[in-house]
């Protein structure tokens, strides 16, 4: 009979084999929370009012909805290197531009006896935001927990117009300070997104200064809300509505002793302007 090898001194002295190594985390696990990129399309509509001391200097514009595309990217470079809170500091860039847009000039205020620009002028609409972002998820899972974010940076919002004698174009430049929140609605397939920002104006663009004088004051803000949902693969969708409002006071050309140019929207009197944008967006992206 063969000896029971399990009871031999050699067998008792043999080392216990180590447990198998845990599986190596995949790319998405190791880079979870690194960032995201998304693209979308939408509709935007602009309403503009300029108020002057006399009715003849007032201007108003209700634009037709026009299509635009949107591109958004966020990067948190420390997310793959540390689990500390500093992993939630990143950068974000948001850009949108018209796909097709033109401006029909309102009849009031035009000077057909000296100028002939037609009823439609070339138009360009775009926006750029560049921010430093701090996010804080209220849970261990960055992608599926309620998340708040604060950001600060700079931005521009341009609505440029070709030569005409009624409306001037604007190129707003501003400081951008924003807060946002994302709250899952019981599932990763749907989350509520809400946010808003302040945009203290730094400038209104040379076209506006040449036509209406230097900016004496100005402030802008925006609010947005919508839905977002994510699949296990990291793909996500979003649907969002946004309202922007810019208010400003301009000194007029008389304050600087500048003459009014013919066939332009120049105004010598001080004016106050309100510029609003309503935007609807739908898109998709990928998030690590």
Distance between CA atoms of 47 and 59, rounded to whole angstroms? Answer: 11
Count other C-beta atoms under 10 Å from residue 70's C-beta. 22
pLDDT in tens, 167-192: 899 999 999 999 999 999 988 899 99
Higher-pLDDT residue of 49 and 17 is: 49
Does 64 fall in a domain? yes
Higher-pLDDT residue of 2 and 220 is: 220
Q: Which two tokens stand for residue 276?
A: 């609003």
Lowest mean pLDDT among 64-68, 122-126, 142-146: 142-146
Quick one: pLDDT band at residue 22, thresholds 50, 70, 90? Answer: low
Beta-strand relationship, 170-187 and 190-203: antiparallel
The CA-based angle 113-114-115, given to 5 degrees, is: 105
Domain count, the chain: 1
Statement: residue 165 has pLDDT above 80: yes
pLDDT in tens, 202-240: 999 999 999 999 998 899 999 999 999 999 888 999 999
Does 34 fall in a domain? no
Measured CA to CA in angstroms, residue 147 lies from 10, 167, 181, 186 at distances of 59, 42, 6, 14
pLDDT of residue 110: 46
- Given a contact cutoff of 8 angstroms between Cβ atoms, the answer to whether 48 and 59 are in contact is yes
* Mean per-residue pLDDT, 31-45: 89
12 three-state secondary structure: helix
Q: Which two tokens stand for residue 233?
A: 């693969």
> How is residue 86 annotated by DSSP?
G
Q: Which two tokens stand for residue 158?
A: 């341009």
Does 232 fall in a domain? yes
Does 97 fall in a domain? yes
Q: Which two tokens stand for residue 272?
A: 């106050």
Does 12 fall in a domain? no
Q: Which two tokens stand for residue 16?
A: 């216990």
Does 255 fall in a domain? yes
Containing domain of residue 106, as a range? 44-287
Does 2 fall in a domain? no
Residue among 110, 106, 99, 103 nearest 71 (CA): 99
The CA-based angle 150-155-159, given to 5 degrees, is: 135
Count other C-beta atoms under 10 Å from residue 187's C-beta. 10
Does 4 fall in a domain? no
138 three-state secondary structure: coil
Q: For position 139, which CATH number holds?
A: 2.40.128.100
Residue among 61, 50, 56 nearest 105 (CA): 61
pLDDT of residue 232: 85
Q: What pTM value is reported for the model?
A: 0.83
Please list the alpha-helical segments (H only) found in 112-212.
Answer: 206-212
Per-position b or e across 84-94, b if 16+ CB within 10 A of its CB: eeebbebbbeb
The overall average pLDDT reported for the chain is 86
Statement: residue 50 has pLDDT above 70: yes
- Given a contact cutoff of 8 angstroms between Cβ atoms, the answer to whether 254 and 236 are in contact is no
């Amino acid at each position: 009979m063969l000896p029971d090898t399990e009871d031999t001194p050699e067998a008792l002295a043999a080392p216990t084999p180590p447990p198998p190594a845990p599986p190596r985390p995949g790319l998405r696990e190791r880079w979870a929370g690194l960032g995201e990129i998304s693209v979308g399309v939408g509709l935007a509509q602009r309403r503009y009012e300029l108020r002057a001391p006399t009715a003849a200097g007032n201007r108003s514009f209700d634009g037709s909805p026009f299509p635009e595309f949107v591109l958004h990217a966020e990067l948190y470079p420390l997310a793959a290197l540390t689990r500390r809170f500093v992993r939630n500091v990143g950068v974000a860039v948001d850009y949108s531009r018209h796909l097709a847009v033109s401006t029909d000039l309102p009849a009031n205020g035009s000077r057909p006896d000296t100028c002939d620009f037609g009823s439609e002028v070339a138009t360009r609409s775009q926006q750029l935001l560049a921010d430093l972002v701090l996010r804080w998820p209220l849970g261990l899972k960055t992608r599926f927990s309620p998340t708040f974010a604060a950001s600060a940076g700079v931005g521009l919002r341009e609505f440029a117009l070709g030569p005409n004698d009624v409306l001037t174009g604007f190129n707003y430049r501003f400081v951008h300070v924003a807060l946002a929140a994302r709250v899952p609605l019981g599932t990763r397939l749907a989350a509520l997104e809400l946010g808003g920002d302040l945009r203290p104006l730094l400038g209104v663009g040379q076209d506006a200064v040449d036509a209406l004088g230097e900016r004496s004051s100005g402030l802008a803000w925006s609010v947005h809300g919508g839905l977002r949902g994510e699949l296990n693969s990291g793909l996500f969708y979003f649907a969002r509505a946004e309202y922007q409002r810019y208010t400003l006071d301009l000194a007029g050309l008389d304050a600087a002793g500048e003459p009014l140019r013919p066939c332009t929207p120049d105004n010598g009197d001080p004016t106050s302007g309100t510029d609003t944008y309503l935007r609807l967006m739908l898109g998709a992206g990928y998030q690590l």
